[in-house]
């Protein structure tokens, strides 16, 4: 009896001896200002020596600022991070039950441009813009950077605030 070679399902490829899942990317064209703010935030160094890595706490809000680029506000009691610039606002809620079901929302001039409901969706979503030398930016990189800033204070404190989200 001759064995037929194994043909993996359509969404898998074989790398060496391992089978790897392949998903289709979702590429979203965004406005130039949105791309520039997110790219600046994601590409900013996390070294302690840079001024934007020093947060200023007022009440339950910790603010990180990179002058003329972006401001990141972490609101611990609402388990929310808000990245903002002139026309752009990116809202990240790890306990996304707080909002309309989206854990990441991108606004431009007050109107929603993009809503990402899950981490799985963020992994496959890339943003691009008509900006010189722009490369696609994966939204999971943005989320990981926001999580970094949210974890500067012990994550246990954030977990204790999830009751504000109805969990």
Please give the C-alpha separations between residue 122 and each of 10, 26, 28, 162, 165, in angstroms, as whole numbers.
22, 9, 11, 22, 21
Structure confidence at residue 153 as a pLDDT band (50, 70, 90): low
Confidence (pLDDT) at 161? 39
For the entire predicted model, the pTM comes to 0.77
Structure confidence at residue 151 as a pLDDT band (50, 70, 90): confident
State the distance between the two ends of the chain, measured CA to CA, in whole angstroms. Answer: 58
Quick check: helix, strand or coil at residue 151?
A: coil
Confidence (pLDDT) at 94? 80
Rounded to whole angstroms, how far apart are CA atoms 147 and 166?
20
Q: Mean pLDDT lowest for which of 57-71, 83-97, 124-138?
A: 83-97
Quick check: helix, strand or coil at residue 103?
A: coil
Q: Are 96 and 79 in contact (CB under 8 A)?
A: no
Segment of 10-19, 90-99, 105-114, 145-154 carrying the highest mean pLDDT: 105-114
Structure confidence at residue 11 as a pLDDT band (50, 70, 90): low
């Amino acid at each position: 009896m001759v064995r037929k070679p194994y043909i993996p399902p359509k969404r898998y490829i074989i790398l060496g001896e391992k089978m790897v899942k392949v998903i289709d990317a979702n590429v979203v064209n965004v406005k130039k200002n949105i791309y520039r703010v997110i790219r600046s935030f994601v590409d900013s160094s996390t070294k302690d020596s840079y001024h934007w890595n020093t947060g200023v706490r007022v009440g339950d809000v910790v603010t990180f600022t990179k002058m003329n680029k972006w401001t990141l506000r972490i609101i611990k009691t609402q388990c929310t991070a808000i990245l903002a610039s002139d026309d752009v606002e990116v809202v990240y809620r790890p306990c996304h039950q707080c909002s309309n079901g989206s854990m990441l929302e991108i606004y431009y001039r007050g109107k929603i441009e993009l809503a990402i409901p899950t981490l799985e969706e963020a992994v496959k979503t890339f943003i691009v813009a008509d900006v010189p030398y722009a490369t696609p930016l994966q939204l999971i990189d943005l989320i990981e950077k926001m999580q970094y800033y949210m974890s500067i204070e012990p994550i246990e404190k954030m977990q204790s605030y999830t009751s504000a989200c109805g969990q």
